[in-house]
Structure 1
Amino acid sequence: MNILGHFVSNEFWPGASNRISEIVNPATGAVTGKATLASVEDVDTIVRTAAEAAPGWAATPPAKRAMVMFEFRDLLKKHTNELAELLSSEHGKTLPDAKGEIARGIEVVEFACGIPQLLKGEYSEAVAANVDCFSVRQPLGVVAGITPFNFPAMVPLWMYPVAIACGNTFVLKPSEKDPSVVMRIAELLAQAGLPPGVFNVVNGDKVAVDALLDHPLVEAVSFVGSTAIGRYIYSRGSANGKRVQALCGAKNHLVVMPDADLEQVSDALIGSAYGSAGERCMAISVAVPVGEDTADRLVDVLAPRVRALKVAPFTDPSSELGPVISKQSYDHIHSYIEQGLEKGAELVVDGREISLQGYEDGYFIGGCLFDRVTPDMPIYKDEIFGPVLSVVRAASYEDAVGLINDHEYGNGTAIFTRDGDAARDFWARVRIGMVGVNVPIPVPVAYHSFGGWKRSLFGDHHIHGMEGVRFNTRLKTMTTRWPSGIRTGAEFDITGGKVV
C-alpha cells in the first residue's frame, strides 16, 4: 500500500514521524493508501528549506517566474484526465466535477502568468522641488497554505501560483483525506522548472497546522475551511505576527422572484445545490421563493429532478452525484436531516435510502429537498455540507433580503429575476461578498477575487486576483531627492572614483 510522505526540494521525503493517516475511497469505504502525519520537527525542516530558497527566488526576475507558470499551465492541461481520476478516487466527486475543478485552478495559474504586469509599481514625478516618489511590491518570504478536502486541487491552486509568482516560497498543508492529487501536481510544478525549495508539501494534521502557525519563518498563512477552524487559525496566526487570510463557512441563499423562469431556476439549483455532493462553500443550500405561489411552483418543478439524480461512483460515466467524503460526514448529514424532520420541516425528497450493489459500504446520500424550513431550524442556520437543499418561503422581497442579511455567514448569494431594478437593488443591499444575478454560483473569474463577508472571512484580503497579489506582497514606497545641477564627465576622476 502506498504511503505518502512529503514533497521537499522537488523530491519526495518520508520525514521522521511514524504517525500515519488512512486514505479511504468514499465510494467503497476501503483504505487505498496512507499519509504520513508530520511532526513539529518535520515542519521545521520543510519551512527552513523554503526559507533558504526564498532569497534566490525573490531575486529571480518576474518574467522568468512567469515562464515557469506558463510551463506549469501547459502541464496541468496535458495531465487533466490523469489528475481528475486521481482526485475522484480519493474525494468521490464525479469526473466532470473533478475536471471542472482543475480547469478553475488553471485559470489562476494563467492569471499568475501575468505577474510582470501585476507587480508594476507607481511613480510620481516632482512631488516637491527635485523630489520624486515611487512604490514597489516585494515578496514576503515563506507563505503557508492550509487547504480543505472538498477541492483538493483547485483551492491550493488558488493560493500558491500567485504567491510563488510574486516571489515567495510556499509550504502547503493539504487535507490528509485526499492528498494524492496535490503530490502529483507538485511533481508537475518541479517539471515546469521551479527551483528546489520554492514549493513544498507537508502532509499532516493539527500538529502540522500549529507548527506552521507558530513557526517564526512563516510570514503569512492562507486558509480555506470551516469557520471554527478558520477563526482559530486567524487568531493564533495573527497573535504570532503573521498575515492571515481565512476563508470560512457559508450558507448561500438563492432568491426566486415571481417573474423568474422556473425551469432555469431548477437547472441552476440542481447544479449548485447537489454538484460535488453539496460539499462546497459556494453551494446553494437555501432557496428563497418570494410568495406562496412561487414556492409551490418551484417545489413542483424541482422535486422530480432531485429524485431523478443519478447516484453512483465516479467510475460510472452517468453519475451525477457521488459519495460524501467520509463516514463522519455521512453521519453528520444524516443527523441534520433527522433534526429537520424533528423541527417540523417537510422532507419532500428523501435521499437517505441509497444502496448501490457492490458499494454497500460507500458513503452515498441521494439528493434531499426540504420545504417549509424556518430560520430557527438548525438545517437553516448551520452549514450542512451535503446534498441537502432547504426551501425557506419569503412573504415579500424585503423579507428575502432581510433573511440573507440577518444570517451570520456572508459568502455568496444569488437572485433569479427578469426585473433589472430588483436585481440592482439586491446586489447593492445584500451584505454578502459574492453576488450572482441569474447566476447560481457567483464564483469570480481568476482575475477578480474570491471571498465572503461576516463570519465567512477572517482577515482583510480575499483570495486570488489582485487581492491575492496584495496579500502576498508588501508595499514599499521610496521618496528620492538629488542635488540640483548637472555635472559633466570632465568633473569626475574616473580612475579614483572621486568627484573633482
Structure 2
Amino acid sequence: MTTTTQNAVKKLTHFIGGEMTPGKSERFGDVYSPSTGEVIALCPLASTEEVNEAVEVAHAAFEKWKRISLGKRVEVLHRFRALLVEETNRLAEMIGLESGKTVADAKGEIVRGIESVDLAINAPHLLKGEYSVNVGGDINSFSIKQPLGVVAAISPFNFPVMVPLAMTSMAVAVGNAVILKPSEKVPNSALYISELWKKAGLPDGVWTVINGDKEAVDTILKNPKIHAISFVGSTPIAEYVYSEGTKNNKRVAAFGGGKNHMIIMPDADLDQAVTAFLGAAYGSASQRCMAISAAMPVGEKTAEAFVAKLKARVAQLKVGAYTDESADFGAVITQQSKDSVLKYINESIEEGAVLTVDGRNPEVNAPEKGFYLGATLLDHVTPDMKIYRDEVFGPARIVVRVSTLDEAINLINSHEFGNGVTIYTESGPAARKFTQEIEVGMVGVNVPIPIPVGYHNFGGLKRSKFGEAHMFGPDTARFFTKSKTVSERWPEAKEDSKTEFAFPSSNQ
C-alpha cells in the first residue's frame, strides 16, 4: 500500500466495460519514475469483488464478440495496429517515464509488440480446420476451433507494451475477451493501450485492464469464468501461477526467469562477440528475461583476450535518464531492485569473484534520487556462486571461464533455467553440436539475443517455462482456442435402421 500522500499525485483507474473506472478498494500503490525516484501516480489495487465484477462484464461482451465474423475482427486489429504506429512516440515516452528505459529502447519494444499484432491479423489462416470426406459409411469428418471465453494475461514491468501485446493480440483476434493485469509498477501504458483498442472499434468489455497486486492475481487464478492465463515474471511466481491455475482447471502458460549464457569459442571474432555482448547484456539495464547474463569464453587464451576487450567497452557505457539520448541504458525499476543487485555484486566479491568494472556508483547527469546502477562486470565467477545460480535483474554481468565446449554445454544444461543461449563461433560443426545438445528453449548462433520474431514460438525450457504453450507464434492461436471434431452423415433417402453393437470403424 502506498506511503505517499494520496492527494499529491494523480490516481489512476482500471479500464472496464470500455470506460476508465476508478478503483473502489481505496488501496493504492506508488508508481515511480525510475529516472527521478519520484512518485508520478497512484495505481489502484483491485479487490476480489472488483476483479469478479470485471470478469462478469467481460463474459457478457464475449458472448457477442465470439459471434462477430473473423473478417470484422481483423478489421479492428488493422485499425489497432495503425494506431500503435501512429502513437509510437507517445507510447515510448510513457514507457520511458514509468519503466526507466531509454526512449530508443522503448520504441524497439513497441516495434516487436506490433509483430504480435501482425500475426493476430492472420488469425483466419491459423483458425482453419481440417476436412475429410467419406471416412467411412458416407460420413465426413471435420475440425473447428472456437474461442475459450474470458482469458487473462498477467504481465511484467520490464516490457509494458511488448509483452501485453504478445499475450493478448491473438486472444482478441480468435474471439476471446481479455482481462489484462499489468504490473502495478507500470500501469499507464496498459491504460493507454485500452484507449487505442476503443478507438479501433473493439466492442466495450472485450478488453479489460484490472490493476492490482496479489489479491487481484489470486482472484484471477480462482475465478471459474476465466479459462486461460498467460503470465510473465519471476520463476517462483510463475510456478505459483501455474500450480494454482491448473489446480483450478485453467490452461496456463507461465514464463519465468532465465540465466542466459553466451559461449565464445576460440575461433570467434572477438570484436563481434564483445559488441554483441554489450547490447545483449546491458540493454534495458539488463532487465530482460532474455538478457545475456554470463559470458563463457572457452580456453584461457580466449578468456584473457575477450575480457581485455570487453572491460574497456563496458567501462565506456553510460547510464542516464530515459530522456538522455546519449545514455546506453536507464535506471532500474525500483530502489529495492537496485539494492538487490548491489547485494549480489558485494556477495560475489566476498566469494572470490574479480570486480573488473565497478558500476556501483555511476556518474549520472540526472537527479540523484533516480535508481541508477552503472555497468558492472565480474570475472572468475564460478558455478557455485549465488550470482551465477540466480537471475540478477540489473546491470551486473559475469564471466565464467571454461576449458572446452563440452564443459560449457554441461554447465548450461545443469542450470535450473533454460530460457536463452547463444554461441559465437566460425565453426559449423561446433555450432551444430551446440544446437543439438543444449537444453535451452531459444538458441542463437552468432545472434546476441535469440528472441524469435512474432510468427515463431517463444518459450524456454526447464524452470524458465511452466506449461506447454508459447507466447509468440502460432501456438498462441492453439492456446486461446478449443478444438472440436465433428462427424456428420446426411443419408440420401430413408434407410432401414439396424442396430450395430460393434465398435465403429472406417471399413463400413
1:133 aligns with 2:141: yes
Provide the C-alpha distance between the structure 2 equivalents of 1:113 and 1:139, rounded to a whole number of angstroms: 16
Whether contact under 8 Å (2:35, 2:366) holds in the other structure is no
1:493 aligned partner: none
Provide the C-alpha distance between the structure 1 equivalents of 2:47 and 2:393, rounded to a whole number of angstroms: 30
1:335 aligned partner: 343
Whether contact under 8 Å (1:19, 1:36) holds in the other structure is yes
Displacement after TM superposition at 1:486 (Å) = 10
Whether contact under 8 Å (1:290, 1:396) holds in the other structure is yes
1:483 aligns with 2:464: no
The one-letter amino acid paired with 2:175 is: G
Provide the C-alpha distance between the structure 2 equivalents of 1:276 and 1:169, rounded to a whole number of angstroms: 31
SS at match of 1:404: helix
1:283 aligned partner: 291
Q: 1:113 to 1:276 in 2, by over 3 A?
A: same
Provide the C-alpha distance between the structure 1 equivalents of 2:335 and 2:362, rounded to a whole number of angstroms: 14
1:144 aligns with 2:152: yes
Whether contact under 8 Å (1:248, 1:456) holds in the other structure is yes
The one-letter amino acid paired with 1:210 is: D
SS at match of 2:252: strand
2:408 aligned partner: 400
SS at match of 1:172: strand
**Deviations for 1:128-175, whole angstroms, at most 9, x for unmatched residues?**
130111101110000001011011111101111110001000000000
1:23 aligned partner: 31
1:449 aligned partner: 457
SS at match of 2:474: helix
SS at match of 1:361: coil
Provide the C-alpha distance between the structure 1 equivalents of 2:244 and 2:21, rounded to a whole number of angstroms: 28
SS at match of 1:52: helix
Mean Cα displacement is larger for which, 458-467 or 266-275?
458-467
1:198 aligns with 2:172: no
Provide the C-alpha distance between the structure 2 equivalents of 1:43 and 1:258, rounded to a whole number of angstroms: 55
Displacement after TM superposition at 1:112 (Å) = 0.4
Displacement after TM superposition at 1:485 (Å) = 4.9
Please list every run of 5 or more consecutive structure 2 residues that lacks an aligned counterpart in the other structure: 1-8, 496-508
2:423 aligned partner: 415
Displacement after TM superposition at 1:267 (Å) = 1.0
Runs of 4+ aligned structure 1 residues displaced above 6 Å come to: none
The one-letter amino acid paired with 1:203 is: N
Provide the C-alpha distance between the structure 2 equivalents of 1:9 and 1:262, rounded to a whole number of angstroms: 55
Whether contact under 8 Å (2:74, 2:173) holds in the other structure is yes
Provide the C-alpha distance between the structure 2 equivalents of 1:324 and 1:4, rounded to a whole number of angstroms: 22
Displacement after TM superposition at 1:480 (Å) = 1.4
1:292 aligns with 2:300: yes
Q: Where in structure 2 are the equivalents of 1:55-454 lying within 5 Å?
A: 55-454=63-462
1:9 aligns with 2:17: yes
The one-letter amino acid paired with 1:353 is: N
Provide the C-alpha distance between the structure 2 equivalents of 1:223 and 1:205, rounded to a whole number of angstroms: 14
Provide the C-alpha distance between the structure 1 equivalents of 2:470 and 2:366, rounded to a whole number of angstroms: 43
Provide the C-alpha distance between the structure 1 equivalents of 2:479 and 2:253, rounded to a whole number of angstroms: 8
1:498 aligned partner: none
Displacement after TM superposition at 1:484 (Å) = 4.0
Whether contact under 8 Å (1:121, 1:134) holds in the other structure is yes
Q: 1:99 to 1:357 in 2, by over 3 A?
A: closer
Whether contact under 8 Å (1:130, 1:484) holds in the other structure is no
**Deviations for 1:11-62, whole angstroms, at most 9, x for unmatched residues?**
1000311000111111111111111110111101111100001111111111
The one-letter amino acid paired with 2:336 is: Q
Q: TM-score, normalised by structure 1?
A: 0.96
Displacement after TM superposition at 1:314 (Å) = 1.2
Provide the C-alpha distance between the structure 1 equivalents of 2:292 and 2:475, rounded to a whole number of angstroms: 25
Q: 1:309 to 1:127 in 2, by over 3 A?
A: same
Mean Cα displacement is larger for which, 458-467 or 74-83?
458-467
Whether contact under 8 Å (2:170, 2:476) holds in the other structure is yes
Provide the C-alpha distance between the structure 2 equivalents of 1:327 and 1:196, rounded to a whole number of angstroms: 38
Provide the C-alpha distance between the structure 1 equivalents of 2:88 and 2:269, rounded to a whole number of angstroms: 35
Provide the C-alpha distance between the structure 2 equivalents of 1:62 and 1:432, rounded to a whole number of angstroms: 36
Root-mean-square deviation (Å):
1.1
Q: TM-score, normalised by structure 2?
A: 0.95
Q: 1:486 to 1:303 in 2, by over 3 A?
A: farther
Displacement after TM superposition at 1:355 (Å) = 4.0
Whether contact under 8 Å (1:255, 1:290) holds in the other structure is yes
Please list every run of 5 or more consecutive structure 1 residues that lacks an aligned counterpart in the other structure: 488-500
Provide the C-alpha distance between the structure 2 equivalents of 1:348 and 1:35, rounded to a whole number of angstroms: 40
The one-letter amino acid paired with 1:366 is: G
Provide the C-alpha distance between the structure 1 equivalents of 2:239 and 2:319, rounded to a whole number of angstroms: 35
Displacement after TM superposition at 1:342 (Å) = 0.7
1:37 aligns with 2:40: no
Displacement after TM superposition at 1:357 (Å) = 5.0
Mean Cα displacement is larger for which, 123-132 or 183-192?
123-132
The one-letter amino acid paired with 1:444 is: P
1:47 aligned partner: 55
SS at match of 1:143: strand
Whether contact under 8 Å (2:320, 2:365) holds in the other structure is no
Displacement after TM superposition at 1:223 (Å) = 0.1
Taking only the aligned residue pairs, the percentage that are identical comes to: 51
1:496 aligned partner: none
